[in-house]
Amino acid sequence: MSGNARERRHVSRRGLLGAVGAAGVAGLGAGGLTGYTAAAGAGERTESALAAARSRGGPEDGRPPALLTPTPAHVRVVAVDVLAEDGTETREAAREVLAAWSREARALHERGPAALGEGAPTQGMHPASLGVTLGLGPSLLERAGLADRRPPRMEDLPAFGTDQLNPDWCGGDLMLHVGAEDPVVLSAAVDHLLRTVRGRAGVRWALPGFQRSAAAAVDPEATPRNLMGQVDGTVNPRPDEALFGTQVLASHTERPLAWMDGGSYVVVRRIRMLLDDWFALEPRRREEVIGRRLADGAPLGGDRERDRPDLSALDDAGEPVIARDAHIRLASPESTLGARMLRRGFNYDLGWDTDGRRQAGLLFTAWQADPRTGFTAVQRGLDEGHDALGAYVRHEGSALFAVPPVREGEPHVAHSLL
């Protein structure tokens, strides 16, 4: 079997686990295994892929599908607002939306795209690693009269000096995060999930993201590149590291906040890249801006991608090898009091706006146990240090969501809250 074929099968199994994550562990029944076996055609591969997926972390411990690896080639993040007048109605509508989405996610897991109904665009297609992750925005808790159940770490993100936010691309009561290996499966699933809550929730903003597919990669295990051509995602907590839990998953022992115990907080940023300005730079200058080599992602002064950046190294002229305003210096734990988050970046490319400006960049998602000591601390550090990358990017959209754990036996996420 070729490496690519092996990866695709692995991805396919991971997707089933992802869908289980959305639907609850109880969903791991004959449907899931049959679905995979039918797609891959060998029970032996099913078992080894299952073991591999488990070793990388999985929904057995309630982790949302969006945190599983490998990451899907396509995602769509949709922020919706609940359509309701007062607190009681808001709570009721939110409960209905989350219950409907959990139910449909479970059906998609058990029956694959067939659950999308007769005449769906996905006829004849495999599940394509479909994974559904759900989140709740601060505005929902406020509107639903649940401010006392809002964890302090779920405070609104502060304004940052470099923000150029468009309010139309910010906030949202609920988040629907769907990932899949195939864009048709993804589109049809998102459409279906939104249709099931029509009249209860309206789309506030949405952004599709993508990365190179495993099938097209020479090495599917290699860290992907973003649209600036950089290897992006090298320094990240790994799911099999002991620290992953404390850095990415939240612990809330206080009873009113227990609904988020074991969940994660995600910051979503729509960051436009000024690609013409970026590619006008000499390659050497592009490397200085980040502090890493374009060819292989190795830190300047290092040999390999995974080498630890030497922030104290000086060149012959006595200047830092990794510049004072280089992105990786300012974002490093050494500069940010140990701040850590799991970055899951996807490219977005919407073509050109009506003024002919490029609409492309990074659908940046950062997952952490506490955004105050994660995203906010790092973004402040980037601002205060005048991140050299700042001249080539624009933060145009922003949102924060609490992503509760998936608990066995609960009909939907955040059940104990709503």
Residue 350 backbone dihedrals phi, psi, to 5 degrees: -105, 15
> In this structure, what DSSP letter does residue 78 have?
E
- The 3-state DSSP composition of the chain as helix, strand, coil percent (nearest 5) reads 40, 20, 40
- Residues with Cβ within 8 Å of 334's Cβ and at least 6 positions away in sequence, in order, are 311
Nearer CB in complex with ligand HEM: 331/413: 331
Identify which of residues 101 and 205 has a Cβ nearer to ligand HEM in the complex. Answer: 205
Task: Reduce the DSSP state of residue 1 to 3 states and report it.
Answer: coil
Q: For residue 290, what is the DSSP state?
A: H
Minimum CB separation of residue 360 from ligand HEM in Å reads: 10
Nearest to 27 by CA among 136, 153, 134, 131: 131
Radius of gyration of the chain from Cα atoms? 21
- Residue 66, helix vs strand vs coil: helix
To ligand HEM, the closest distance from the beta carbon of 304 in angstroms equals 13
Q: What is the nearest approach in angstroms of ligand HEM to the Cβ of residue 221?
A: 15
Whole-angstrom CA distances from 61 to 86, 275, 405 are 35, 40, 8
Residues facing residue 202 across a β-bridge: 81
Nearer to ligand HEM, 192 or 269 (CB): 269
Q: Please state the closest distance from residue 379 (CB atom) to ligand HEM, in A.
A: 4
Integer Cα distance of 25 and 349 in angstroms:
35
Query: Closer to ligand HEM at the Cβ: 102 or 332?
Result: 332
Closest CA to 328 of 204, 222, 232: 232
48: region left, alpha or beta (phi > 0 left; psi from -120 to 50 alpha) = alpha
Cβ 366 to ligand HEM shortest distance, Å: 6
Shorter beta-carbon distance to ligand HEM: residue 81 or 396: 396
Task: Please indicate whether residue 277 is annotated as part of the active site.
Answer: no
- How many alpha carbons lie under 13 Å from residue 53 in its C-beta half-sphere? 31
Least separation in angstroms between CB 265 and ligand HEM = 14
> What angle separates helix 3-23 from helix 30-40, to the nearest 10 degrees?
160
> Alpha carbon 359 to chain centroid distance?
20
Residues in touch with ligand HEM (CB under 6 A): 226, 228, 230-235, 269, 271, 273, 290, 292, 309, 327-328, 331-333, 343, 361-362, 364, 375, 378-379, 382, 389, 393
Nearer to ligand HEM by Cβ, of 171 and 371: the residue is 371
Catalytic residue among 81, 173, 182, 232: 232
- The closest alpha carbon to 392, from 268, 262, 228, belongs to 228
Q: How far is the CB of 177 from ligand HEM (least distance, A)?
A: 18
**Residue length, the chain?**
418
- What are the residue numbers of the active site? 232
